[in-house]
Amino acid sequence: MTAQLAFQNVTLGYDRHPAVHHLNGEIAAGSLLAVVGPNGAGKSTLFRGIVGILKPLTGAITLGGLKARDIAYLPQSVDIDRTFPISVFDFVGTGLWRTTGIFGGLGKKAREQIGQALAAVGLNGFENRNIGTLSGGQMQRMLFARVLLQDARVIVLDEPFNAIDTKTSADLIALVRHWHAEKRTVLAALHDMEMVRAHFPETLLLARGSVAWGPTQQVLTADNLLEARRMCEAFDDGAGTCVVDPAHSRAA
Ligand SMILES: Nc1ncnc2c1ncn2[C@@H]1O[C@H](COP(=O)(O)OP(=O)(O)OP(=O)(O)O)[C@@H](O)[C@H]1O
């Protein structure tokens, strides 16, 4: 197995209060992995660590030769400032920053690529709309269009199917499966266990630490889900600070 992502005793947190504890394990290149767990289990925190927004308090995350900026990241839509005055076209175009640069203009090819990405998610005709005018489902489609443009080997999706209708979910899960077929590594934080069982071969069940990690059917047992709930309820958010070892503390 070639590891695309590896966690070595990773603890992540805020203001030095740990939120994800002592995670060890590897994600093989080409995996399609669901990350599940109760509210507050640490799924978003783990993703922020993977994409380099949060630096581990202890331990290390290695990215199999990639840099954090090479990962395509779809944040929870609540983390997007919808009041920011930007059009759908320009927002999706930020997916090309790695190639165009932040201040680079968008050439003909880039504009065509943006148009194709918008068409692929069913947002033809939305180019000039301000992002603040989109419905929840249209917003998710737009975020997927940006991920499409990034053309990344690793894709991290934080609750990509929350509060969207069945048709939008089906369209977007088809894109996820397409990325998997292209042998990209895809991680998604999800709450819908039926969707996880139907589409995700592997699952990490998180409750501040790993409760179970492996083939989905073996992970999503009633006992494991109960244990995850118990662990989250028992967790003390004011828990003591982890000892920081600067030599081992880095997001690769
Ligand atoms: N920016 C922050 N500052 C301080 N604490 C935070 C911050 N973000 C998250 N936390 C805390 O870290 C813990 C894990 O939160 P996180 O958002 O990672 O969980 P989650 O599994 O993604 O939850 P949900 O399913 O509700 O989205 C929670 O106790 C949360 O309050």
User: Quick check: is 42 in a domain?
Assistant: yes
- Percent of the chain surpassing pLDDT 90: 75
Report how far ligand 1's centroid is from the alpha carbon of 44 (Å): 7
Confidence at residue 67, expressed as pLDDT on a 0 to 100 scale = 87
User: Which of these three, 100, 127, 149, is where a domain ends?
Assistant: 149
Residue 240: Cβ-neighbour burial (10 angstroms; 0-12, 13-18, 19+): exposed
Assess whether 157 and 47 both reside in one domain.
yes
Question: What digits encode the pLDDT tens for the residues 177-210?
Answer: 999 999 999 999 999 999 999 999 999 999 999 9
Choose the residue to mutate in 10, 11, 12, 14 for probing ligand 1, maximizing ligand atoms within 8 Å of C-beta.
14
Report how far ligand 1's centroid is from the alpha carbon of 81 (Å): 18
Assess whether 157 and 144 both reside in one domain.
no
Q: Residue 148 and residue 64: Cα distance in Å, rounded?
A: 21
Residues with CB under 6 A from ligand 1: 14, 19, 37, 39-45, 237
Confidence at residue 211, expressed as pLDDT on a 0 to 100 scale = 97
Range from 97-111, 140-154, 193-207 carrying the lowest mean pLDDT: 97-111
Assess whether 176 and 159 both reside in one domain.
yes
Assess whether 7 and 49 both reside in one domain.
yes
Confidence at residue 238, expressed as pLDDT on a 0 to 100 scale = 65
Assess whether 45 and 101 both reside in one domain.
no
Ligand 1 atom 18: residue of nearest CA: 42
Ligand 1 atom 26: residue of nearest CA: 39
- Domain span at residue 33 reads 3-66+153-234
User: Which of these three, 100, 126, 149, is where a domain ends?
Assistant: 149
ipTM: 0.98
Longest CA–CA separation in the chain, Å: 55
Structure tokens at 78: 């609540």
Assess whether 58 and 158 both reside in one domain.
yes
Higher pLDDT, 244 or 16: 16
Confidence at residue 242, expressed as pLDDT on a 0 to 100 scale = 53
What's the total number of domains in the chain? 2
* DSSP β-bridge partners for residue 214: 203
Confidence at residue 224, expressed as pLDDT on a 0 to 100 scale = 97
Instruction: Name the pTM for this structure.
Output: 0.90
Write down the residue that tokens 């990215």 correspond to: 63
